[in-house]
């Protein structure tokens, strides 16, 4: 920021030595160094405060953007839920109308008859028997005991190796 060359610093030092004197120059230099250090710390503190404020403002902007997007998604989700709920109610109403119409007509099967059919699957509505599944009958305990035991293969010992004669 300040362009001070080495020669300019040398001229300032010589003038200070002449004006202040050799006895007081070290004390004045120390005091000037302390003031410069304080000024540097103050400037760095101000820079940090400004950076912190800038970051805080950016975070606030991001927070408002996130809240806005979350609110949009909540609205979208509630609209979708309402649409699905309405569609389910419409389908339920149409199914109940169809069931009522089927119960009211002579050609359709009434709901009570359908329940009756589901309870007795081996008979048809006109009374004729339906094909029943023929399941194998469980074996009696006597037939299991009378069955011969499984055949076991007799173990044979392996033949001893023959010695070759020479």
> Average pLDDT of 93-102?
82
CA gap 52, 57 in Å, rounded: 9
Whether the pLDDT of residue 160 is over 60: the answer is no
Q: Which positions ≥6 away from 144 have C-beta within 8 Å?
A: none
Q: Which positions ≥6 away from 103 have C-beta within 8 Å?
A: 110, 111
pTM of this prediction exceeds 0.85? no
Condensed to tens digits (0 to 9), the pLDDT of residues 3-55 reads 778 898 889 888 888 888 888 888 988 998 999 999 999 999 999 999 999 99
With bands split at pLDDT 50, 70 and 90, how would you rate the model's confidence at 107? low
CA gap 136, 143 in Å, rounded: 15
């Amino acid at each position: 920021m300040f362009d001070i060359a080495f020669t300019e610093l040398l001229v300032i030092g010589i003038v200070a030595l002449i004006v202040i004197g050799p006895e007081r120059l070290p004390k004045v230099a120390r005091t000037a160094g302390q003031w410069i250090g304080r000024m540097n710390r103050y400037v760095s503190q101000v820079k940090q405060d400004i950076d912190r404020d800038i970051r805080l403002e950016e975070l606030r902007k991001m927070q408002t953007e996130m809240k806005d997007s979350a609110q949009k998604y909540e609205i979208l989700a509630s609209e979708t839920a309402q649409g699905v709920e309405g569609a389910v109610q419409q389908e339920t109403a149409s199914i109940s109308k169809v069931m009522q119409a089927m119960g009211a007509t002579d050609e359709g099967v009434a709901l009570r008859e359908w329940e009756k059919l589901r309870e007795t699957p081996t008979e048809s509505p006109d009374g004729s028997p339906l094909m029943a599944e023929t399941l194998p009958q469980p074996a009696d305990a006597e037939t299991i005991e009378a069955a011969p035991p499984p055949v076991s293969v007799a173990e044979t010992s392996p033949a001893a190796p023959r010695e070759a004669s020479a």
